[in-house]
Amino acid sequence: MLVSVYLPPVGLDIWAHLMAGESYPDAADTMALLLDKLKIDQVSLVSISGGGPPAYQLAIRHPDRIKTLVAIDSIALKTAMPADFNYLSNTLYFSSLGQIIMGYMARKYPKMVLRELIKDNSFLTKEEIAEQVNIALNDPMQLGKMMRIVRSMGNFGQRKAGVMNDIKQFTKMADTSFEKVQCPSLVVHGTHDNLLFYQAVKARDNIQKSQSLWVNKGSHFCSWIHPESASVQQQIITYLTEHS
């Protein structure tokens, strides 16, 4: 039986590691036990952002369970988090009130929220950000993805313990043994993502069966908000289909 397991951004994998241990190896072992319980032999694994560490650990510690790995703008190495956020950004992203405000602003002022999402999560210039925002505003698919991203950050009170643990674990995680990842792996990353592009390059260079998909001038959200996002999504789907 083959299914896909999605590991989302920071905090949402609380179920996987806080009850069985705080570390990412603990999370990986717990996910393997879950697969046993569900009687699932292998999965195709897609990680995004903070879902990277437990995804890599699952592939390393339980290689027989992973058919294919796709790491999208994923953390791969020890990382200080949040990276370049100012006080306002921290308030918006890491508080219940901030998420309520973000949801309201996304509905009423999508241009502003698009601009802030890209600005806070990239090294793009103001002109490059403005160009991507204008394209996204005229693309219903990208606008819809923006709303889903904002909604996924909601219910912060329920996610807080997981978010705080992830931020702690990012700063103390051991080196990732990429050479032990045996499954076909696609590493997707925006070239201008401020979540440390070099980590994706190191993962790609050290995983034996790896391919890369670098999104030119892509932010942390380039798989959904970017002039080439539709193409990026299709290439990911094609890779998963061919290797699963």
> The pTM is what?
0.86
User: Which among 38, 40, 49 has a CA at the least distance from the CA of 1?
Assistant: 40
Residue appearing with tokens 């931020």: 167
Higher per-residue confidence, 91 vs 107: 107
Q: Mean pLDDT for the chain?
A: 87
Return the top range by mean pLDDT from 5-9, 85-89, 145-149: 145-149
pLDDT in tens, 46-84: 999 999 999 999 999 999 999 999 999 999 999 886 544
CATH number of 1-244: 3.40.50.1820
pLDDT in tens, 175-192: 999 999 999 999 999 999
Supply φ then ψ for residue 142, to 5 degrees.
-70, -40
Q: Which of 35-44, 163-172, 210-219 is predicted least confidently?
A: 163-172
* Helix, strand, coil percentages, rounded to 5, for the chain: 55, 15, 30
E strands present in the chain: 2-7, 42-48, 66-72, 185-190, 210-215
Domain ranges of the chain: 1-244
Position 18 pLDDT exceeds 70: no
